[in-house]
Amino acid sequence: MYGMVLAARGAPLALQQRPDPAPGPGEVRIKVGACGVCRTDLHVVDGDLADIPYPIIPGHEVVGRIDALGEGVVGLQPGMRVGVPWLGYTCGECFYCRANKENLCDRPKFTGYTRDGGFASHLVADARYCFPLGEHGDDAAIAPLLCAGLIGWRSLVMAGEGQNLGIYGFGAAGHIVAQVARAQGRSIYAFTRNGDRDAQQLALSLGAAWAGASEDKPPTELDAAIIYAPIGALVPLALRAVRKGGRVVCAGIHMSDIPAFPYNILWGERQILSVANLTRQDGIDFLAAAAKAEIRTHTTVFPLTEANQALASLRDGKLVGAAVLRP
Ligand SMILES: [Zn+2]
Ligand SMILES: [Zn+2]
């Protein structure tokens, strides 16, 4: 196998050959067809997340085919197409696992962060955390659904049932969630960094009612807003845009500090929430909703060996939609 390996904090990823990994009990080996590039991969590369076990292969939006089964795997067969998401393992025993909140597990493993991920020709995954994907659609088009779509879905559910939904940061997650929300009959208000006409155009082409800059006042009060950009200064802006009783959902794993703001923009029973990880049920629910909404992802495909360039384009805000790597 070969993979793009992160050896130390901030280092560029380096191509490395390794012996083919053998799946352990309950695991499968997957030949990667495509792997999406998520903002969290940037946080892994930059060392923004705690306790990264270097060397590590990033990537947690994996689409591939099973090519070897470990002992005791049930329900999966060689040749099946599966998706491997961020949540790679949970303990099943802690307070959160027992309370049906495995996304908050105390002893989790995460694909491409605490176990090797999909910026590679092959990876090994816990069979219980793989989603069978069926044969409809291209690997590269599906890959962004595995995190941008899934975390986007969880944040949409947490935003509540409101009609008027703001989306701050209209990239990989935003453009998927907008399509699901439109299929649910909701109105989308897209906020982008100032001057990002491409993202605003994409939002409008996907049926957004309005697109503007993050500092702009939307034409109507929002019932909820979801923040996908990792910028704390968006929280007070979003609070000012939501109505009384409205919610502001922070969907990223990492965000710059939230500046001080006057209490009166929170008052009126507005709420600020964060989204952490996903549950396997989120995956099942989202993949069903995604099929129904006939989501079309906008992707830019890079060869796996150009993973560093893909990460740089994401960092510079130069992508429209999602970046995807192909081995
Ligand atoms: Zn647990
Ligand atoms: Zn992600």
pLDDT 10s digits, 265-296: 999 999 999 999 999 999 999 998 888 888 99
Burial 126-135 (b: 16+ CB within 10 A, else e): bbbbbbebee
Ligand 1 centroid to 193 CA: how many Å?
37
- Where in the sequence of the chain do the CATH 3.90.180.10 domains occur? 2-146+297-326
What value does the mean pLDDT take over residues 200-229? 96
User: Does position 217 have pLDDT exceeding 80, yes or no?
Assistant: yes
What value does the mean pLDDT take over residues 27-37? 98
Ligand 2 centroid to 147 CA: how many Å?
5
- CATH, domain 2-146+297-326, list 3.40.50.460, 3.90.180.10, 3.40.50.1100, 3.40.50.360: 3.90.180.10
What value does the mean pLDDT take over residues 47-73? 97
* Nearest ligand, measured from the Cα of 89: 1
Q: What is the pLDDT of residue 195?
A: 72
* Nearest ligand, measured from the Cα of 96: 1
Query: Could you list which residues have their CB under 5 Å from ion ligand 1?
Result: 90-91, 94, 97, 105
* Nearest ligand, measured from the Cα of 61: 2
The answer to whether 299 and 144 have CB atoms below 8 angstroms apart is yes
What topology does CATH give the domain 149-274?
Rossmann fold (3.40.50)
- Where in the sequence of the chain do the CATH 3.40.50.720 domains occur? 149-274
Query: How much helix, strand and coil, in percent to the nearest 5, is found in the chain?
Result: 30, 30, 45
Averaged pLDDT score across all residues of the chain:
96
Bond from prior residue into 55 cis (ω within 30 degrees of 0):
yes
Q: What is the pLDDT of residue 321?
A: 86
User: Does position 317 have pLDDT exceeding 90, yes or no?
Assistant: no
* Nearest ligand, measured from the Cα of 91: 1
What value does the mean pLDDT take over residues 300-304? 97
Ligand 2 centroid to 80 CA: how many Å?
23
User: Does position 155 have pLDDT exceeding 80, yes or no?
Assistant: yes
Q: What is the pLDDT of residue 196?
A: 86
What value does the mean pLDDT take over residues 33-38? 97
**Structure pTM?**
0.93
User: Does position 211 have pLDDT exceeding 90, yes or no?
Assistant: yes
* Nearest ligand, measured from the Cα of 106: 1
Helix axes 172-183, 197-205, angle to 10 degrees: 20
Ligand 1 centroid to 295 CA: how many Å?
32
Q: What is the pLDDT of residue 294?
A: 87
Ligand 1 centroid to 199 CA: how many Å?
38
User: Does position 194 have pLDDT exceeding 80, yes or no?
Assistant: no
Q: What is the pLDDT of residue 58?
A: 98
Q: What is the pLDDT of residue 5?
A: 98
Torsion of CA 148, 154, 160, 161, to 10 degrees: 70
* Residue 299: strand, helix, or coil: strand
